[in-house]
Amino acid sequence: MMADLFSSGGMQALELTLQFAGQRQRLIQSNIANIDTPDYRPMDVSPAKFQKSLARAIAAREQLGGDQAGGPLLLNDSREIVQQADGSIRLNPQTASGNVLFHDRNNRDLERLMQGLAENTTTYRVAADLLRSRYDVLRTAISQRV
Amino acid sequence: MFGSLDISTSGMIAQRERMASIAANIANRNTILDADGKVNPYRRRMVHFAPGDPKAGSSEGRAMGVHVAKIEIDQGEPNYEWDPSNPYAFKEGPRAGYVPTPNINSVVEQINAMEAARAYEANVVAAEATKTMMAQALRILG
């Protein structure tokens, strides 16, 4: 029962989203830092693919134990996102291609990078705020005891 | 998460070094003597970036940052200006009467400076976004 306290409902999903956005932030930062590096190709992971595999994991868990089911969410391992034994995820970025190649053989795209940065920051913020409100609910429940 | 600020910092440092070399190029646009007072026009400095920052304190910075791999000195021909009354003009030879001057194009340098400033700004924005994320993560606790 106590284990379910921190893994029931959306908490696991929020935690994974935080991990994903936190690690993707590094990739975006790296792409921005290397914007003038010759031969550098931006690396990224697809947030859409992560969302899809998260949705599938939530659906699978619901099938097992209903709406308020607890327990770890198991993501389907893909080429880009690998879930480790302790439940945390590790990103395996892919080199993006299909952009204008500059003369220094770097296919930078500052606008897209900044868009990705803004989106990723917002995703992180949403997950952090929702997780905080879940903890607030828990705290309220705890403080009601006699 | 804290180490990820190193990535943006390495980008800022690299762009600042690039800006310093551009500033030196513009400052020495008319320098025709070297430090010993001999006729030897200033040669343009160019920075070369490479991925990864060996000087970063965190593994993220070392793996994913950027650093200045090399500052190359342009070995191209200097420009020659016709100025026979100049005491530094060649006295004899095929270029008699010409003064060698640095082959620095200030338009190119200005554009490079603008590019470096924009790239620096992009790194600042990324660092700010990361700082915001860190603050949000801390707020989860209370």
More confident residue, B109 or A80: B109
Quick one: how far is CA B115 from the chain centroid? 11
Is this prediction's ipTM beyond 0.95?
no
Structure tokens at B97: 């009467």
Asked if A36 and B136 come within 8 Å (Cβ–Cβ), the reply is: no
Cβ-based contacts of B50 with chain A (< 8 Å): 37
- The answer for A 59-118 residues in CB contact with B (under 8 A) is 110, 113-114, 117-118
SS3 B73: strand
Give the β-pairing of A89-91 and B45-51: unpaired
Cβ-based contacts of B123 with chain A (< 8 Å): 32-33
How many angstroms separate the first and last alpha carbons of chain A? 20
CA A57, CA A73: separation in Å to the nearest integer? Answer: 6
Quick one: how far is CA B128 from the chain centroid? 24
Q: Please compute the mean of the pLDDT values over residues A91-103 and round it to a whole number.
A: 77
Identify which of B49, B50, B64 has the shortest CB distance to residue A30.
B64
CA angle A46, A51, A53 (to 5 degrees): 95
Q: Is the pLDDT of residue B85 over 60?
A: yes
Contacts with B37 (C-beta within 8 Å, 6 or more apart), sequence order = none
More confident residue, B105 or A105: B105
Cα of A110 to nearest chain B Cα, Å: 8
Cα of A9 to nearest chain B Cα, Å: 17
Q: Nearest chain B residue to A119 by CA: give it.
A: B129
Q: Is the pLDDT of residue A1 over 70?
A: no
Looking at every residue in chain A, the average pLDDT score rounds to 84
**Contact A126/B at CB under 8 A:** no
Asked if B122 and A113 come within 8 Å (Cβ–Cβ), the reply is: yes
Identify which of A22, A26, A121 has the shortest CB distance to residue B64.
A26
Confidence of residue A60 (pLDDT cuts 50, 70, 90): confident
Asked if B7 and A29 come within 8 Å (Cβ–Cβ), the reply is: yes
What DSSP designation does B21 have?
Answer: H
Asked if A117 and B119 come within 8 Å (Cβ–Cβ), the reply is: no
Asked if A121 and B133 come within 8 Å (Cβ–Cβ), the reply is: yes
Cβ-based contacts of B49 with chain A (< 8 Å): 34, 36-38
Asked if B140 and A32 come within 8 Å (Cβ–Cβ), the reply is: no
Confidence of residue A75 (pLDDT cuts 50, 70, 90): confident
Residues B24-42 have pLDDT tens digits of 999 999 999 999 989 999 9
Predicted pLDDT at A5: 72
Number of Cβ within 10 Å of residue B123's Cβ equals 25
How many angstroms separate the first and last alpha carbons of chain B? 19
CA B87, CA B91: separation in Å to the nearest integer? Answer: 9
Structure tokens at A48: 């859409």
